[in-house]
């Protein structure tokens, strides 16, 4: 069994600052669970272009307010606390935060922990 406390991740290499967001990587590929789990803060007033071509992601908002715009159809989905959205088709999207948003993110395949978005909003397929 593994027990992870957020306070033990803060300030380590698993506490990744991507500019518009900070992602605290709790469960990673090396944990051999088949998925990864992040506790992520999206900073208020930001817009982030994301396109996980190599990953599926489910995101559960536990604090804050914002929206996701899917670019294939330009639909805008309001996101507030207690809302989950799943990028089940590798959806290219814009994530906009009206306030700071705290999100729990689950990735398949799992992240190694060092990923940041490239110029197209993509995480690499595998850093190991």
Place 44 in a pLDDT band, splitting at 50, 70 and 90: very high
For the residues 55-74, what does the mean pLDDT come to?
Answer: 96
Q: What is the CATH number of the domain that holds 20?
A: 2.60.120.10
- Asked if residue 92 belongs to a domain, the reply is yes
Percent of the chain, pLDDT > 70?
Answer: 88
Q: Categorize the per-residue pLDDT at 52 as very low, low, confident or very high, splitting at 50, 70 and 90.
A: confident
Q: Structural domain of residue 100, as residue ranges?
A: 6-108
Tokens 């999100």, residue located: 103
Contact status, residue 92 vs residue 50, Cβ threshold 8 Å:
yes
- The residues, any chain, with a CB within 8 Å of residue 8's CB and separated by 6 or more, are none
Residue 113 lies in a domain: no
Could you give the number of structural domains in the chain? 1
User: For 81-113, what is each residue's pLDDT tens digit?
Assistant: 999 999 999 999 999 999 999 999 999 988 886
DSSP state at residue 45: T
Quote the pTM value.
0.87
Q: Taking residues 49-66, what's their average pLDDT?
A: 93
Give a yes or no: residue 32 inside a domain: yes
């Amino acid at each position: 069994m593994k027990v992870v406390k957020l306070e033990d991740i803060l300030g380590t290499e698993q506490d990744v600052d991507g500019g518009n967001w900070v992602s605290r990587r709790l469960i990673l590929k090396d944990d051999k669970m088949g998925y990864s789990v992040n506790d992520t803060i999206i900073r208020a007033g930001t817009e982030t272009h994301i396109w996980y071509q190599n990953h599926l992601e489910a995101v559960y908002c536990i604090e804050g307010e914002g929206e996701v715009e899917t670019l294939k159809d330009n639909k805008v989905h309001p996101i507030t606390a207690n809302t989950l959205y799943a990028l089940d088709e590798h959806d290219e999207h814009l994530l906009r935060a009206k306030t700071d948003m705290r999100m729990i993110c689950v990735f398949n395949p799992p992240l190694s922990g060092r990923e940041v978005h490239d110029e197209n909003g993509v995480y690499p397929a595998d850093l190991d």
